[in-house]
Structure 1
Amino acid sequence: MIVENNVPLQPYNSFGIVARAQNLVRIASEADVAELRADPRWRDAPRFVLGGGSNIVLTGDVKPLVLKVEIKGLRLVEETPRAWIVEAGAGEIWHDAVQWMLEHGYPGLENLALIPGTVGGAPVQNIGAYGVELQDRFDSLDAIDLDTGRSFTLDAAQCAFGYRDSVFKHVRSGPNDFGLSGRALITRVRFRLPKPWKAVVGYLDLERKMGETGNFTPSATDVFDWVCAIRRAKLPDWRVLGNAGSFFKNPTVTPEQCADIIARDPKIVHYPMDDGSIKLAAGWLIDACGWKGKSVGNAGVYERQALVLVNRGGLENPVTGGEVMTLAKAIQTSVYERFGIRLEPEPVVV
């Protein structure tokens, strides 16, 4: 185990924000965590777990010890008449893992193609896109309690998945609280991919693809290709234009609240949910407030999708975390003043 000092973090966050880790250690196996805990210099040090850096906004240098998760591995664990159980190391690139499963005959995650980040970050955020959420395909995960060094396994119920939420995003506040933010390092994730496979194509953009192609019985590869094409047309490649993907969660309101908004703004994009609530399109709300294409310093709202904030300064004059959060707060204020709705950011602010 080597602890690196004064490490640039610009390559490790998809926004391309310039920041440094005072100390960083690369975790390639569970043994690396054990070795770290055995070292008296680092056993009780504050820690920050870093995966693909696709869902964070760095507002300055990171003083806690950065644990850069780089655990690899992809394998079929079990096959039953009802599902394939596939395991992936937490350090695997998410899109590459989805593609590997598809190529090896294990479909089910194709709707989540091209989402940036690593496998370990997927359950933290309960990622979702085009009609599928991670919890729909989740089996279990392995993690290490950084306070005790003990390994443990969680199933879906124990992960307490919600909309872009999980137990890993909550801080433990009492003896009966199971919040794992800052305590758990995810090492491996297992997916339950149902058999027989069935295409999930109820999302509007995918329905359009079926109409355009005349293909109304798409294969998993067809859905994968369509999702990739849709995302590339709508969203910027973070390697070209730094961003953290969708910056705000789509808010949910009661039917009464939605009816009140529709009375004032009939064109608002909204979707009924299974629990009776109504989900509103945050991108539409932001666009309606006139933010698409606007900037604060080198932080901007993407021209093609108002839900995405981007780094307009590139590598030469990169955006700062302060500029990103100033823009985000200005957007939140505008949306609240017009619609009475508080937008909640998706990324973790460090």
Structure 2
Amino acid sequence: MNFASSAPPSPKSHPNLGLKDRNTFGFDATAQWAFEIDTAEQIPGIMQQIAEQKLPWRVLGGGSNVILPKVLPGATLLMNISGIKVDDAGEFTRITVGGGVNWHEFVAWTLENNFPGLENLALIPGTVGAAPIQNIGAYGLEVGEFIESVQAYDTKDQAFVTLNKDACCFAYRDSYFKQNPQRFIVTKVVFKTPKHWQARIHYADLAKQFESNPKPSAEEIFLAVCKIRTHKLPDPKVIGNAGSFFQNPIIPNEQYETLLHKYPGLISYPDRSGKRKLAAGWLIDQCGFKGQRMGHVGVYENQALVLVNHGEGTAQDILGLAKCIQEAVRKEFGVSLEIEPNIL
């Protein structure tokens, strides 16, 4: 393969690029070819070359929700598109954000500029472009609630498209983008934040924080979320992790009632589907995995939902641990746990 000679002068290309600092697990992975995508206009040309050479490919943002193998063959597109644009939209403020913008930095920016609404989603690692794919959520809020549309390159139709909120098919940790992997490359996300803001503190951890302050400001919620997450979740710069490793399973009410009878301490939440959402971390903890180590990987001591890399772990190691956890939870509770990060 002679990609260097055929690649256009832009985007910048890097052969055999180490990605240890581009994935929060800190896995020692290498991209056969990496391309820095700084503008949407660079995408059609590079995708044409990828198609012509029949190369495998993937997009990598902050690497906060991925499990990388030792070698990523073909092309890895590094999403670096930046920029924030603000427009008035009547009762709302419209904010258009580049897919490569750091998510937490964007949330902080909205508060600094008096555009509250996203504060519950503070300190979630990753980029803005990855947010709608997973429909990231935390503390009683999902990002899809604030998205007006998503701009992306459709690799199937080889054209730029704009998908409105309905077309995005947002659901719990799910979206049209996730349902159609390898089809869309998100370039920009358009948010709508309300001018008449209301605090969202009904989630248990936040409600406890504001027992004596029922009307906190958006900034106070932001700081509280950062405090809670910092206590529960390890800093990827200190110990490799991808945040919550498993999705909270959603089960029928009948199964929930049976489990509750057997396990009175079962932690769950009502789901909008009319079913019950179980706390995956509680299930894992009950199986004795919290704080346990398996070789170079393990389960975080403060939150059983988080798997960690103690320094020399690999994707194979973390997936082996995940399989052990899944089997134990299935055996004990009859519940299946779904891995949240994308396995590349």
- In the alignment, the residues of structure 2 paired with residue 87 and residue 270 of structure 1 have an alpha-carbon distance, to the nearest angstrom, of 35
The answer to whether residue 30 in structure 2 is matched with residue 12 in structure 1 is no
How far apart are 1:44 and its partner, in Å? 4.6
The match for 1:185 is 185
Bigger CA drift: 106-115 or 26-35? Answer: 26-35
1:36-67 Cα deviation digits (max 9, x unpaired): 24658867532211111000111331113101
Equivalent residue number for residue 346 of structure 1: 340
Task: Pick one of 334, 339, 348 that aligns with 2:328.
Answer: 334
SS at match of 1:168: helix
Instruction: Tell me, yes or no, if the aligned pair for 1:293 and 1:301 is still in contact at 8 Å.
Output: yes
Q: Where in structure 2 are the equivalents of 1:120-269 lying within 5 Å?
A: 120-170=129-179, 179=180, 181-211=181-211, 214-269=212-267
Amino acid corresponding to residue 205 of structure 1 in structure 2:
D
Match of 1:169, SS state, is: helix
Structure-1 separation of matches of 2:50 and 2:273: 50
Secondary structure in 2 aligned to 1:225? Answer: helix
Structure 1 SS opposite 2:33: strand
2-structure distance, mates of 1:40, 1:273? 42
RMSD between aligned residues: 1.4
CA distance in 2, matches of 1:25, 1:89: 17
Give, in whole Å, the separation in 2 of the partners of 1:222 and 1:274: 28
Shift of 1:35: 3.3
Letter in 1 for 2:105: D
* Counterpart residue identity of residue 24, structure 2: S
2:68 is the counterpart of 1:46: no
Q: Does 1:61 align with 2:71?
A: yes
1:114 counterpart residue number:
123
Shift of 1:148: 4.2
| CA deviation vs aligned residue, 1:84-107 (integer Å, no higher than 9, x gap) | 111110000000001111111111
Is the Cα–Cα contact under 8 Å of residues 296 and 326 in structure 1 kept in the other structure?
A: no
Distance in 1 (CA, whole Å) between partners of 2:195 and 2:272 is 24
Moved more, 191-200 or 330-339: 191-200
Aligned to 1:176: none
Partner of 1:275: 273
Letter of the 2:322 partner, please give it: A
**Equivalent in 19, 22, 25 of residue 32 of structure 2:** 22
- Matches of 2:251 and 2:51 in 1, distance apart? 49
Distance 1:148 1:84 in 2: 31
Which ranges in structure 2 are unaligned for 5 or more consecutive residues? 1-9
Q: Secondary structure at the match of 1:233?
A: helix
Q: Distance in 1 between matches of 2:113 and 2:195?
A: 15
Deviates more, 1:56-65 or 1:132-141: 56-65
Aligned to 2:236, what secondary structure does the other structure show? coil
Residue 255 (structure 1) shift: 1.3
Aligned mates of 2:293, 2:69 — CA distance in 1? 18
Stretch deviating more after TM superposition (85-94 or 161-170): 161-170
Q: How many residues align?
A: 334
Q: Does 1:298 align with 2:309?
A: no
How far off its partner does 1:347 sit? 0.4
Deviation at 1:159, TM superposition (A): 1.1
The answer (yes or no) to whether the contact 1:36–1:43 under 8 Å persists in 2 is no
* TM-score of the superposed pair, with normalisation by structure 2: 0.94
1:137/1:193 contact within 8 Å kept: yes
Q: Distance in 1 between matches of 2:147 and 2:119?
A: 14
Measured in 1, the distance between the counterparts of 2:278 and 2:47 equals 45
Runs (4+) of structure 1 exceeding 2 A deviation are 37-46, 146-149
Match of residue 173 from structure 1: none
- Residue 87 of structure 1: SS of its match in structure 2? strand
Q: How far apart are residue 239 of structure 1 and its match?
A: 1.1
